[in-house]
Structure 1
């Protein structure tokens, strides 16, 4: 019997996925006292960890921080692939690169390069703040994922950290990459690179490199000992040892075969003459036991002698022990000495008497038949043993065939499923291609129609340009004629203007002036030498200080003396405010002519603009107060426009020039650019007073007709009043406010546009005020309402219903 070693040292091998995983081939065997150890696999230490970063700093910051925490002392190298933009923004839209000039594309590429360098510096600063030095590797490619794979090959990158997906896609069950870039790098990157895929600061998946795989296979062998085998040897070797043991004869052979195949084989006993293995005591023809049995069955010697009529011939010892009568399968008979043959083959009971010849012949025939039977039994046993061996081989081959058949069926099923999926994907692809082709056809038709429209539009533009050039020429001609007429009119009116000035000087001499003159030293003392802590306002006109002058709290406005308009604005305000008095006009207390300084009454609540914006956390104005302010502003404008012999147009009406006193009474101020219109200045075509001047004021509140014609009229103040009224209703900025209110009125959702901080507006009055304000904001001044006859008629009853002014806003 072959001796099988009880201990195996199996080294790992890479297994073929198409082979049966249950069949394992040992790489090396050792005896019980010989254990061979493999030298440990040496893994190269990574000196750099590359981190792939993109354009979105917020998305990639978590990946960089994860790499910093898990670098293990390695140096960090930032890896970036820049993808040039194929659409370039220009003039508020985007154009493809192919449609732009080379210098435009070059300038945009330079901007992209600067943005990329700035982004990489921010990534490097993150690493530097963590105390880790960094390198930067970047390239420019039309495809980011292909660029990453190319950089891995160029720089022989052994370890790479990159994002698996956007942070919003992260979940605890996430085990694979989700972004197309990460999937492409996972499949296409060289095998020597180990890639760590991270999402939202968590390691999601690791693709081991080639060196790491070899180390893993060495550390975890695939071939292990069978737990059912007590000796620790593989099943294949154990089967071989059992097969070798079956070649030996005897009871061990029979028991072994019976244990393997689950069959019980009947064996011959040791005292039978047909045993598989011949025995000396049972197969010799002249054994004592056989002859004793024959003696007991035979009659006595004297009976045989008396019954036999012929003389008895004694059998020779050699005849009794002749080979013809012996067992042909006996081996011990031939090996005995000659004396033993005679002693054992001739029992005393036979030699002493005479045996019947017939009985002897029958005995001899029985012996021959027994020998033949033994030979046949032996041949049958050999045939049965061979049949059993063939059956075992057939069973083994059948099991192997079944395993191979099952494996082939499994592969066939997988191939059929893959083929079905491929066909389905092909059908989907064909359907998608058809859809894309249909969309392309529609797009081409749309493109052709757009090209036709563009061509017709270009033709129309050319025609309009020609008409515009003709209109410009005609306009220039009319302007020249107007200038000539204006020169003639100016020359004709010189005498009348001199007469008017003389009349105005006479009337001004009789008009009382309510203001005082102060010295500059008094102004300095009142403002503590113009202390900056006392400054309460500043603008293009100059600065305003809060001061105490002659035991009176005043507001001191210092105009810019170095400006060309400073003295004229100073004189304008002095001439207007020193001669007019109204409850809603600011009170001019005095002036310092030598320094262009005006002294007003101090109003503690600031301007209407400050109150609408709730500056310094002041409480918002109620809707009652806002209606009363609108009525007061209308009253003072009617007063200015209807002065005797002349009309005063403010010209710069806005919330910043409307002051609020302690009782929330509005005061109109800043008359630096106002104009005085006389009755003789009216045009011949209509009776509206006007003054030609350069456009001045604040955009958003300025009358649009001033910009086109340069004519300042009382209707200009009506337009500004309408904008202020809309601001009181909504609390919004003056820019585009008229358009927003017009859309709200058209859609019926004005209530959503009203300023909720003013309280619950009475909706009927709010609608009435909105329509009144929109009439005041008409582009054509002829459509604007008259303040005295139309606007005041609406605001007066509203003011009466709101009550008298009080101290709370």
Structure 2
């Protein structure tokens, strides 16, 4: 995989405008020492202390804020980040422009801090993918000599910190040029300083001092005419004015050579000589010796000799010297002077030649130094490229590893998908077989329906006979013929109260609907209730109303719905309100309601078995529900099941009990739900206790699997035969204990046998299996006790005492109170309602026997 450069684009920030640069400019040879540069990041709170430290320690230098802007490689869209390579160019450009706008706002905050501190700052920005490499690039481009940068995250600062900790700071410290002096700051404290090595690059070059009289012997000290001690062949002293040999001696050409050498890219730089540690400083035209300022000791003797000496520095004509041969002293002085002049000329020539050699050697040294620096720069550049290549290769290797892992995962997913596909194909084949079986069953059912149509007339006659028998039994039960039930055991409401409680029958308050009519959620006499409006246009409406009233007015069981009252003029029944809806709604959760756990499902099955056993063995008249299904099983706030809807139930006389050697059955037409109806009812028209057992078996299978009722028996039997019942269990109920689940499945299948006589007995077989299961789940028969945290029904609480009522009575305001509490209220002189504060029409108290019975049964639960 080819290495990809991390630099995408270089931009410079000047006067508030980002200017892209296609290629980075060459490094500047000028090192800026008069400006302190401060590196800042995107988080103002993190870099503010670093900037304040730079403002405090700038030492009079100007400030320049530098920032490396990183363009985003992934852009968030609709909650997901997409790589810019997969987006349109205009989208990427718009997002990057927005990033640059935010970056400008951040830089404005930094400049505002500087302006408030009285030190305006410049801004310098570069746009790169790597922050640390961007800082190194800025140092090379702009010759940054003084840099302040954060050394670590502020939260990791400690007083013992003596070196940078962040990866960016360590990278800058290791890769910054030697001429850059860097201060590393953390949380406003200096933790490390990397000194610059400016002397390694900028060496000062000094020009040789004016040539004087060399020593006669190299390396031995000697004293010339001017009295200067000379210690070596390259040690010179400028002759005193008026001394011999004080002429130019070729100094001007040497100074010009050094000045010209300053234009070889070394202007303003200096170098130290390697001979004897003497310093050679460059000379300029203003520092050249003036020939007119040098006065020869022979000037008083004549100007001709001086002119000749200046004309040729290596020749001297002794003819102009005055004749002093007249005396021996003069001759001796003349000889000595002449010898001195010869020696001086020789020394001057040797010094001149030596200075030529030295200049040549110094030039060669400078050239060599330049080549060395160029080689070092090329080596550093190659090393940097090599590191980038190695990093790119490492990233490529890592990407290859990730791709291999991703490919491995894809292959694994493909294998799993193929297995799932094979499993689904098998299931589809099984489903096709089940469809054929269902079609056969439907055809059989159609045949049965046609058969039932032929027997319609007979069934209608039998129904009329059954109704007459039921009416006779009802008259016998209430003591005489009556078309109305006895309402003394529960409250009777007016139609206006029903209309007000349902907000004029607001459709939004409907919580249930069926062939019988609609059920509304209402507030009746300040109590939440469920109001069942029977369909008066139906021929079964009045009969269902009377059936429900007669059954529920005399039955009391913890798992039967409580009938609070009725409105005879509108064929309306008022029940207690159960907030958790029906079991059907919880097997298939609605409105994001949590599913029922397997423990709760076992408890509901045991409760349902208990209430069915109570109905079948009720004396003097046993009761068959006849329409047992999850939609008719309601759940209160504690998920306690309540059986409802007794509109089509059958009552049996005492002569029909099994103890009298007769079958517990009655003749009726099939009016229940098809999927839950006993097949024998379709065939014989007789509804028996085993019919409820069949429906109970279907409900038990639904609690186990969560699947629809139609065809569920065949699915469960197939799973038991194949040994894969665990795959059929409803996972929403949690981790079913397989032994108990299998036991329940076998129990449900025995309840759904086609021959009713072979179905298990509720008391001897079914309840004995369910009760131990309920106990093993931690749900005992006392699950309604207060210690279990179950809620008390609100209509059991007295509005005055705020306690469960023992003797509930109804006052003139329509509210139910504890008899003792209301009598105390009236005896204290009050004639108004404790709830409405309105005057009571009378002070009569009517006992609420229905509510009292419900409270007593609720308190006496086992």
**TM-score band w.r.t. shorter chain:** 0.3 to 0.5
* Structure with the greater alpha carbon radius of gyration: 1
Larger fraction in helix: 1
Give the TM-score normalised by structure 2. 0.41
Give the TM-score normalised by structure 1. 0.43
